[in-house]
Structures are given as C-alpha cells and as structure tokens.
Amino acid sequence: MHPLITPEALAEALSARPATVVLDVRWRLGGPPGRQDYEVSHVPGAVYVDLDTELSAPPGVGGRHPLPDPERLQEVLRAAGVREGGRVVAYDAGDGSVAARVWWLLRWAGFGEVAVLDGGFAAWEAAGLPVTAEVPAALTGDAAGDVVVRSGQMPVLDADEAAALAREGVLLDARAAARYRGETEPVDPKAGHIPGALNAPTTGHVGADGRWFRAEELAARFAGLGVSGGAAVGAYCGSGVTASSVVLALEVAGVTSAEKPAALYAGSWSNWCALDREVATGG
C-alpha cells in the first residue's frame, strides 16, 4: 500500500472495502483537544484516537511523546476495529505530520497496510465528500479488531545512536528553522539542535494546500540536503511525532524503502534535553 492516499481513493476504498479503518488524529501543540473538532465534523465512520493518551506513553525522561506500550497500543487499535489483513488510513488537520505518527506506529507494530490521507481533513472537505458528527459506537467482543502488535519492526534510535548518526550519516531535524537554530524554543527547556543534524522542516514536504509534493520533488529536496539513496539517515523533532513524516517523505521520495526505512529518534529533542546532552545553535 502506498503511504499516501487521496480523498477520492479513500472514499472509493470505504465503499469497496469495509475492512478499511479510518483514524482521526487531529491534534494541536498546546491544544485545544482535537476531539472537539472530531465531534463537530469528521469522515463518516472515522474513529478518534488521542495522540497524548493513546498513541504515546506518559511523558517523562523518555520525552514528551514516548512510544506507547505495545499492549496498550494493541488495545487502542482493536477498539478502533483494526483487523489483521485490513487497512488503516489516518488523517489530521494539517500537513499529515501527526497522521504520519499513526503510519509509523503501525509499521513499527508490524502492520503494513496503512496510509496517510493526503491533505488531511481539509482535502476531504475540499473534495466535497460527506462529513458527519455521528460518533461510531464503541466496538467490543467479536465486533472489535483482532490486530496483533508485533513491536520493533521500524528502526528506532536512542540519544547515543542519534548523536552517532549526526556525525557519521545524516540526521534530519524536522522542526521549524528558528527552533533548529536555537532562536526560540516554546516547549522544551533548551534551544538549539543535536550537533551535526541538518534542518528539514516538515512544512517542506507539502504545498500551500497541504497536499504532499510529488516523489521527484521530495527527492530533489532531500538531495539538496545531501541525502541520497544508500545513505544512513534518521530523523527527529520535538517529541518524535512530526519526525515520522520525514521518515514517510523519504520513503515517498524513493530515498528509502519499506524494506530499508529511515530511523526515528523516538525521544527526539525532549529526550535529548532531559538527558542534558550537548546543544548546537545557529545554521
């Protein structure tokens, strides 16, 4: 399954393949909760999943959004109706960087048939496709999913490995340029970046309409950063969420592949700061 799906293709899939589960993961740094938007309007049949409480472990030294406990993730996915052999499509309110967390997590969990809605909920609405405020009933018993989480199927970096990759390969920082340079830091206790990391903001993956650039455009962007096929590459961001979209973008671009994906520093800058590691500033 291609990691991106258009609104029209999703609408067709929902009518042809009822085993397709749609996850609404709208979220904002600093709130308000995305569930409020979901309760007003969402893709029919979509299930809301909360990034903070259902797709992450509690915050701590591991970062602001540590990877969830595999058993907890399995419970969440089964409650949403995800089944072995089915498909999952995730969408958010913006550029796909939060939905990419779902894409990455399911791949990490050993579930391959997962995609991000290109352009998110805004693209779905712009296409004139139906929306609803009706919340699906909770799934229990035989109606629930049966997916089995087999964690560890995507490469994950710790702080030492991220530091080594920044020296010996390519480590991409997905945050905004001002945060990367250390000019501002609205969330974490230190400003700056991991020494040797290169800046590749998630906003560079998409156009003004929130739709992802074509593979060749993404490949040219990464080539301009010195990333090419065969290079050891990884990504991080503030808490490991939006960096998932860099992993996705590298695969869409053909720089990496499903068989050899980029690595994710899951703890990201929040973990780096908690460990009091060396900080670089400037461009």
What's the token pair of residue 62? 């591991």
Q: Residues 6 or more apart from 163 whose CB is under 8 A from it?
A: 194, 195, 196, 277
In DSSP terms, 117 is beta-bridged to: 5
How do 4-5 and 47-48 pair as beta strands? unpaired
Q: What's the whole-model pTM score?
A: 0.96
Confidence (pLDDT) at 77: 97
Contact yes or no for 166/265 (Cβ under 8 A): no
- The active-site residue out of 14, 51, 237, 249 is 237
Per-residue pLDDT tens digits for 115-127: 999 999 999 999 9
Helix 215-224, helix 243-253: angle, nearest 10: 110
d(CA 67, CA 76): 14
Confidence (pLDDT) at 35: 94
What's the token pair of residue 273? 């700061």
* Strands in the chain per DSSP E: 4-5, 20-24, 47-48, 87-91, 114-117, 156-157, 170-173, 198-199, 233-236, 263-265
How confident is residue 18, by pLDDT bands cut at 50, 70 and 90? low
Radius of gyration of the chain (CA): 18
How confident is residue 140, by pLDDT bands cut at 50, 70 and 90? confident
What's the token pair of residue 181? 């340079």
Residue 15 has pLDDT above 90, yes or no: no
Conformation bin of residue 123: beta by default, left when phi > 0, alpha when psi is -120 to 50:
alpha
Per-residue pLDDT tens digits for 68-113: 999 999 999 999 999 999 999 999 998 899 999 999 999 999 998 9
d(CA 221, CA 218): 5
d(CA 151, CA 193): 28
Please state the φ and ψ torsions of residue 63, each to the nearest 5 degrees: 125, 180
Contact yes or no for 112/48 (Cβ under 8 A): no
Contact yes or no for 114/140 (Cβ under 8 A): no
Q: Which amino acid, 135? A: V
Mean pLDDT, range 196-208, rounded to an integer? 95
Q: How far is CA 266 from CA 16, 24, 67, 115, 237, in A?
A: 36, 22, 7, 20, 9
Q: Residues 6 or more apart from 181 whose CB is under 8 A from it?
A: 192, 193, 199, 281, 282, 283
Reduced to 3 states (helix: H, G, I; strand: E, B; else coil), residue 238 is coil
What's the token pair of residue 3? 């990691």
Specify whether 237 is catalytic: yes
Confidence (pLDDT) at 17: 65
